[in-house]
């Protein structure tokens, strides 16, 4: 057990693990991010075959924590996100934190774009004012 989480080995699945929840979580994120198996495999360093097995619920086989961690990192989640999903039997209780970070990052991007629009509007106003004064 590491930090209160059982260490996973390549041995068979345990009854307290919900690999279907992991599959649903990974598949939903891949669809949302529009990332395919090959691209995710490349970014995470996990083989396409292992990724495919996870996407289908890891039927009959367990996957090591390091593999789940690599996939979680590649999908921009905290390292232990998929491990928590595996043991929570669905969405972990603090899954809102990554979603909140995504929302805050989105707000930050909108604020940057708004600042850029404001800067451009000010430049246009200055050009119009200068043009009207010189007429």
pLDDT at 49: 93
pLDDT at 47: 94
pLDDT at 94: 45
pLDDT at 95: 44
Q: Is the separation of the CB atoms in 54 and 71 below 8 Å? A: yes
Q: Is the separation of the CB atoms in 82 and 70 below 8 Å? A: no
Compute CA distances 66 → 9, 115, 134, whole Å.
10, 41, 68
How far apart CA 77 and CA 101 sit, in angstroms, is 10
Compute CA distances 31 → 24, 28, 48, 128, whole Å.
11, 5, 16, 46
pLDDT at 105: 74
How far apart CA 80 and CA 83 sit, in angstroms, is 5
CA 8 to chain centre: 22
pLDDT at 3: 52
Token readout for 92 is: 């972990």
CA 37 to chain centre: 14
Q: Is 8 helix (H, G, I), strand (E, B) or coil?
A: coil
pLDDT tens by residue, the chain, 135 residues: 455 555 544 445 566 788 888 999 999 999 988 999 999 999 999 999 999 999 998 766 678 899 999 999 999 998 888 988 888 765 554 444 556 767 777 788 889 999 999 999 999 999 999 888 877
């Amino acid at each position: 057990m590491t930090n209160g989480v059982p260490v996973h080995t390549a041995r068979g699945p345990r009854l307290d693990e919900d690999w279907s929840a992991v599959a649903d979580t990974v598949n939903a994120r891949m669809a949302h991010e529009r990332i395919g198996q090959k691209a995710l495999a490349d970014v995470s360093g996990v083989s396409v075959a292992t990724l495919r097995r996870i996407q289908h619920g890891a039927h009959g086989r367990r996957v090591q924590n390091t593999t789940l961690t690599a996939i979680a990192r590649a999908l921009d989640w905290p390292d232990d996100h998929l491990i928590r999903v595996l043991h929570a039997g669905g969405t972990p209780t603090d899954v809102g934190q990554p979603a909140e970070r995504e929302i805050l990052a989105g707000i930050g991007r909108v604020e940057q774009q708004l600042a850029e629009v404001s800067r451009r509007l000010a430049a246009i106003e200055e050009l119009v004012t200068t043009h009207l004064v010189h007429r």
